[in-house]
Each structure stands twice: as structure tokens, then as C-alpha cells.
Structure 1
Amino acid sequence: MNTLELVELLSPEGLRLLDSLPEWRSTDDVVQKVAELRRAGHGPGLVAAVLAQSKLRTRAAAKFGPFASRMLFTEAGLEQATRLQVAAQHAGRFQRAGVQWVADLGCGIGADALALAALDIEVTAVERDEVTAAIAAYNLAPWSNARVEHADVTTFDLAGVDGVYLDPARRDGARRLADPGDWSPSLDFAFGLAARFPTGVKLGPGIDRALIPTDAEAQWVSVGHEVVELGVWFGPLAREGVRRSALIVTDAGTAELTAEADSTDAELGELGDYLYEPDGAVIRARLIGDLVRRLEGRMIDPTIAYFTADQATATPFATAFRITARMPFDERKLARELSARGIGTLEIKKRGMDVDPAVLRRKLSLKGSGSATLILTRVAGKRIALLAERV
């Protein structure tokens, strides 16, 4: 979105038109919608801006729920914004630590600032991109305890604030920036603020773990079994005795696995009746060993994240599969087995095997009305195929 589009959108006519539109559906005819709005007397620039925003609001519902219907977005801002469920977790940390005024540096469209303001925390949201800052100001307008500043976060005056939150930009347009020194602000700048303030930093979950300071709490967050972020927390925002955490967020609530450090590996053992696939946050946090011991299981291979047990135990931290058949991995034998079982619908999962599921699926020539999960992995170093069903 450029400045001219934003001016069109923020005009009284633009906001009235946007709010009057029904929820955008993927089946809607864009050409027909444009023609209808043009016939109603709206200019081409306004129509383009309003329809683009209507589409973004529909997409944003997955992150912001009903709040999306009164917010504004940019394409990049929506992609990078913290989900409201997760932003509420961030805000709760500041509240429990007694922080009363937070500077949200690099606030984007204002998702985290919104969650902080909703807990009656004073928020100064700082954004260097002019259009994005204006969008954030619109989104935060209902909260009198939140203000937006269009400024460079590295030179912004932090006098008076008693907590800081940052989400460094890790892209330059479509290009991902590999060097943390090139991020905006740089990782050194972000972590350096922890010497002055209780600080939280949002990072990508795949960051080099060697960059995580030893005195910080590192929390990997999974939403709907997708790992969405790593939160690094300093000072009173980091919990006593917690340096590694896997937070699982679902519609049913949250669950968390914590430890003082990476967990030690669990023992290896024979393949049992059940196979477990840990949530990605547990894997990233390196807490698999603790989870295996909690579920009285055992690892199947020292290099594979799957583990096994003789019984099924409900847990939010892993998905359980009941093994119905096991065999050495051989495409022809596997095809015969699936044919004999009448399997026509097959979910394919793999770890530790160089197999293209799409290519394998074509070779198997699946026919039948049955369904199953095929798990391709290594057990004690040997390639194995497991037929299973989700518990």
C-alpha cells in the first residue's frame, strides 16, 4: 500500500464504503465487484484500495478473529503480525512483571500493542514506515493508553518507559536477511536493550540457537501445530528456573512444557504399539527427552524426533498413532500391502528418509475406500514403513 492508497482508504467515504461491504469470499467475482462500485460513483483508486482491504480483513480473521472486521492491514503487516492469541501471552508477561509502560519498537500494524493496551498497560508503539505507522494508529485508536510514533526505533527516546518489546524486521522486501546484523533493528541492538529494561524479542523459530543469550528464557510457540515464533525474554519477563519452553496454543487453550535447559536424550528401545510425533515447538525447544520420559516412552533412533510407547496417552505436546503394520521400506511390497488392505486415501509422513511423498504416492497406485497414515522413518538405523491410524 502506498500513501495515495492510504489517503483514499482513510477518507470518510473510503471507511464508510469499506464497512458497508459484505465479507469477502474467495468465490467473489472481482471484475463484477469493481464494476458495481464504479457504477455507484466511486473512483477507481478508492475501489482498488477498499477491495484490497476487504480481502485482507477476511484473511486476517484467522489471526485476529472478530477484531479483524474493524482493523486495517497491509499485505506485509498482516503476514508478519503476531496472532492475537499469542500477543495476549506476550502482554500477560509484562502485566505479571508489573511493567506499566511498554515501548513496542517496530510495532508493525499494532498487534502486540493492541494486546498490551487491552490490559491497561501504557503503550508507545514506534514504526519507521509511514504507511504502516498510520495503519497502526488507526488500529490502536480505540485505546487512549496507546499512541503511535513514526520514528526510527534505534534513535527513539525511551525515557520513562519501563519495558520494551521488539520484533526485528528480518526481510528486505521479498529477500530474507540471513545476517542478524542486517535486521531492523539488529539483533545486537535488540538484545542490548535488555541491560536497561525488561525486554522481549520476537524472532523466527529457526534462528541459530547459539545466538540465544544464556541468561534469557527462550520460548518456542506453536499455534495449531505450526511453530510460529521464538520469544526471547529478559529480566523479570523471564521466569525463574525456566530457560527452555514449548508453548502450545489451540482453540481449546494453552499447554506448556518448560525446563531449566535442553533436556537430555531419552533411552532407545524397541518399537512399541504406538508412535508419537512431538509438536514442532517441543522439537525446537529440545525438550523431547523430557516428554518421552513423562509418557514412559523410548526413542526409536538417536537422530529421529519420533518416539514410541506401549500405550496411548493423551497429550497436547505430541500426536499419537497406533501402528497397524510394520515392514522394511520397499516400494513394491508396500504397494501390495496397501492394495490388499484396500487403502485409497493415504497420509504420508516422513523423518530421516530421502523420499518424495508426491512421487511415492503416484508409484503406489492407490485404489480402494480405506484410509491410513504411512510413516516412513528409521528405527535403530534401519529404513522402515509403518501403517498407522491417528489416535
Structure 2
Amino acid sequence: MAAGGAQGLVLQRHDHRGQTLLTFNRADVAYLTSDAGTAALAQVARFALTDATLVADVAAVRDRFGAHGAALVATTVLRRKAVTKFAGLADIGEWLFTDEALQQATTAAVARHRAQRLAGHTVHDATCSVGTELAALRDVAPVLLGSDIDEVRLAMARHNVAGVPLCRADALHPVSRAAVVLLDPGRRSGGRRRFDPRAYAPPLDDIAEVYRGRSTVVKCAPGIDFDAVAQLGFDGEIEVTSSAGSVREACLWSPALSTPGVRRRATVLDRDEHVTDADPDDCPVAPAGRWIVDPDGAVVRAGLVRQYATRHGLWQLDPDIAYLTGDQLPDEVRGFEILDQLPLREKPLRQALSARDCGTLEILVRGVDVDPDALRRRLRPSGTQPISVVIARLGTGAAARAVAFVCRPSR
């Protein structure tokens, strides 16, 4: 679906979520922050702007506000997307965004966590974008400075975090000396992710060279190659953080800001839990107990499954598989109570599920080439009970076998 015109309005639906694409300029920001723009935004906020009404709503906005229609509609849509992501961080309902800035910006929970680690430090956010990190830091950093090379995002930040000193500067040409430097290199271009850290903007290898010896905090994609980071000479702490059940980011803390002896950390904000590579990791490998636990993604991504298992009295089903098992379920952790264990063959599995009146079927897989959605369709569950099937490859070489655990989920 698309709507547009001579005024430059571009609203395109690319997928089931939809994306708003608009290249804002300084004139747009000046208008949106003016009295006239503020009043216009209040009027546009009354439009539904749903898939069913978008074409008509866009036409109505364009008829009423002419060339400003594109910026008004895009800002309204982006503000609505931002409400959940930044809940409690600031008065987001009045903020300005670009689409890519909103996509890359840290969620409120993660930004607040990082701000607490930086509490008491003088901080320079050298890639401040529209100001989300500054909003989290302004109450805990005694001295705070923001800069960005993008003049449009910087203009938005001046509106979003009024009162924080801001300047236009290239992150690779430092404008501060004694401050901790926070960097969030761009990882998107044209709506697409950049996976190679050398393709970040600015590139991670350039950041490492320019800020060598400085106290830095660098935000990265959660899937970043830890070995590649080490090859750049980084010898601080890599923190992988999850929130609301999803891994959000990896963050590189320079040695001066790291916990002594810690090189990797998993932070699970939902449970305020921290696991590090300095924790004990002497968990055994043994047959399944009563429960199977699939550790939080931050724990798995940080390579701290054994440390997590040891902390909670669990053990591994296999040394190369992240599933853990035990006789007690850790507090506040979702687990799977084992009802049956059988080789991964569809006919016996279908019979086992039928015998337990399986209706809603959840399938988790590690180490086995199985498409959960395709397998679920073939198993054809038709009962009333929620069942989870945990599939894992156990053993190595000729002794390797695929096992299916039929389970009752704890919640």
C-alpha cells in the first residue's frame, strides 16, 4: 500500500508491521517544533492512520496541511510506535524521530540499566541521535554532553532533551577529553541491518583506534562476533542484555568501566539477574531430571550456560547444547516438566501427543535440523491440553541421537 504526491509524502507498507519512510530535513524539524506545527500534530493525532484508513487519512492531512503533511503523518506514526519501546523514559508523546533512529534506539529498560552503570561519571554521548540515551542519563550523570554528525537528528535531540548541551561533531574526531564516551554506531542503512562491524557507521575498527586508552561504552548488535571484537584489541567486558524476553544488544565496556576479572556478562533485566564468566561453572553433564530449562537468550549468547546452570543447581543434557535440566525449577523461570522421552520419530511422537490430548503445541529445537512449524503441521494436534516438545541432539559422532521430550510447560 502506498500514498504520496507532489508534497513528497511516502508511506509504504513493506511487511506485516509496516514501515514509515520519510527523509526529514531541518525545515521539517523547524516546522514540527513551531507553534503551528505543534497545533497541527495535535490535529493529526486524532486520525486513526490504520491500514484500513491510511489512504483517506493521508489525503485529508495533505489537503489540510499541504507540504507539511508528510512530516506530520510520519511523526504521528513514529510517536505511536515509540510509546511501548520508551515507556517511562521521557515524555515520548512529544518527541521527534526518524524511522531508522527509532529502530536502532535502545529500549527504555536497557537505557536505564546502562545509565545506572554510568551513574556519577561525566558522559559524552558521541552518537546521540535523537537523544534517547541522554534522556536516561540526564538524572545520573553530573556532567552530560551529546553530539552527532547528523544535523537533522541533532535538531530533533535539541527538542527532545532540551537543556542538555549538544553540538554537531563527527564521532571519529573527539570533542571531549575526560568524559566517558558512549558510542552507538549505525547498524542500519535503508532499513537493512549491517552485520559486519567494519560496516558500522562509524566502523568499529575505527572507533577502537580513535578511542584507544579512553573510557568507552560501545553499543553493538547482539550477534556481533566476539572473536572479531578481540582481534580489534578490545580487552574489556562484553555485556549481553535481554529485556522482555528478547536479547537487545551487546555492549562493550572498556577495562576502566568493567568489573575486575569479568570479560563476559549476561544481564537479564526481567529478573534483575547477572551472570559472568567469573562465576563458578562446575555443573555436570547427566541424564534429564524432572525439568528442562531453556536459558535466557542473553545467557546463551554470552556463552555462560554452565555458569547459569551451576548457580541454579542445574546440569547439562549435553556439553554442546544449551538446554539444562534439574529436579527443581529456578524461581521466576519458565520450564518444561518432562512427561515422556522418546527418539525423534514422528509416528511415536504423534501417538504420545494424542495420548496426552495435545492441543496447543509448542516445539523448541536445538542441534537438530527440524522446522518447528512444519513439524507441528504434520503432527496435527487436535486435543485440548497445552504441550511443549523439546527436541535436542544428544551425544556426538556415531553416538549422536535426536531426542524428543514431551513436556508440560510451567506457564
Q: Same fold (TM over 0.5)?
A: yes
Report SS of the residue matched to 1:345.
strand
Structure 1 Cα separation of the partners of residues 366 and 48 of structure 2: 39
2:142 to 106, 121, 124: 121
In structure 2, do the counterparts of structure 1 residues 202 and 177 end up closer, same or farther at CA, with 3 Å as the change threshold? same
Contact 1:167–1:202 (CA under 8 A) maintained in structure 2: yes
Matches within 5 A, 1:243-254: 243-250=263-270, 254=272
CA displacement at 1:373 relative to structure 2 = 1.1
CA distance in 2, matches of 1:294, 1:187: 34
Matched residue, 1:233: 253
Which of 269, 275, 293 does residue 257 from structure 1 map onto? 275
**1:193 and 1:199 in contact (8 A); partners too:** no
Relative to structure 1, is the Cα distance of residues 205 and 127 closer, same or farther in structure 2, using a 3 angstrom cutoff?
same
Deviation at 1:259, TM superposition (A): 3.3
Deviation readout 1:254-297 (Å, 9 max, x if unpaired): 22122338x75732101111001010111122211112122222
Aligned to 1:387: 406
Q: 1:359 to 1:179 in 2, by over 3 A?
A: closer
User: Match of 1:334, SS?
Assistant: helix
Contact 2:286 / 2:316 at 8 angstroms: preserved in 1?
A: yes
Contact 1:343 1:368 in 2 (8 A): yes
User: Which of 310, 314, 325 is matched with 1:293 structurally?
Assistant: 310
The answer as to whether partners of 1:103 and 1:124 remain within 8 angstroms in 2 is yes
SS of 1:65 mapped into structure 2: coil
* Residue from 160, 172, 175 that aligns with 1:154: 172
**SS in structure 2 at match of 1:305:** coil
Shift of 1:193: 5.2
For residues 145-224 of structure 1, the aligned pairs below 5 Å read 146-159=164-177, 161-192=178-209, 194-210=211-227, 211-212=229-230, 213=233, 215-224=235-244
**Which residue number in structure 1 is paired with residue 57 of structure 2?**
33
Contact 1:273-1:311 within 8 A present in 2 as well: yes
Q: Hey, what's the Cα distance between the residues in 2 that align with 1:38 and 1:59?
A: 22
RMSD: 2.4
1: distance between equivalents of 2:87 and 2:297? 24
Q: Secondary structure at the match of 2:73?
A: helix
Structure 2 SS opposite 1:43: helix
Gap change, CA 1:179 and 1:297, over 3 Å in 2:
closer
Q: State the SS of the aligned residue for 1:350.
A: strand
Query: What does residue 349 of structure 1 align with?
Result: 364
CA contact (8 A) 1:341 1:370 kept: yes
Q: Which amino acid aligns with 1:147?
A: P
| Structure 2: distance between partners of 1:389 and 1:10 | 54
C-alpha distance in 2, partners of 1:194/1:237?
14
Residue 81 (structure 1) aligns with:
105
Q: Distance in 1 between matches of 2:300 and 2:46?
A: 42
Tell me what 2:32 maps to.
9
**Amino acid in structure 2 at the alignment position of 1:110:** G
The one-letter amino acid of 1:80's match is Q
1:38-77 to structure 2, matched below 5 A, reads: 42-65=64-87, 67-77=91-101
- Return the letter of the residue paired with 1:366: P
Structure 1 CA distance for aligned equivalents of residues 190 and 142 of structure 2: 32
* Offset, 1:170: 2.7
Q: Secondary structure at the match of 2:267?
A: strand
TM-score between both structures, scaled by the size of structure 2: 0.84
Distance between the aligned counterparts of 2:350 and 2:293, measured in 1?
24
Specify the alignment match of 2:11 in structure 1.
Answer: none
Q: Which residue of the partner structure matches residue 130 of structure 1?
A: 151
Alpha-carbon offset, residue 374 of structure 1:
1.4
Aligned equivalents of 1:177, 1:366: Cα separation in 2 = 40
Letter in 2 for 1:134: A
Aligned with 1:77: secondary structure?
helix
Q: How many residues align structurally?
A: 377
Give SS of 2:328's match. Answer: coil
Task: Provide closer, same or farther for how the CA distance between residues 245 and 176 of structure 1 changes in structure 2, counting only shifts above 3 A.
Answer: same
Deviation at 1:246, TM superposition (A): 0.9
SS of structure 2 residue aligned to 1:389: strand
Give the % identical residues. Answer: 33
Verify: 1:376 aligned to 2:391, yes or no.
yes
Counterpart-to-counterpart distance in 1, 2:291 and 2:147? 50
Distance 1:47 1:338 in 2: 55
Correspondent of 1:334 among 349, 359, 372 = 349
Structure 1 length normalisation: TM-score? 0.88
Change (3 A) 1:254 1:25: farther
The Cα of 1:19 is off from its aligned counterpart by 3.5
Name whichever of 150-159 and 57-66 sits farther off. Answer: 150-159
What SS does the aligned partner of 1:55 have?
A: helix
How much does 1:127 deviate?
1.4
State the distance in 1 between where 2:385 and 2:50 align. Answer: 32
What is the CA distance between 1:2 and its match in structure 2?
Answer: 2.5
Tell me the equivalent position of 1:105: 126
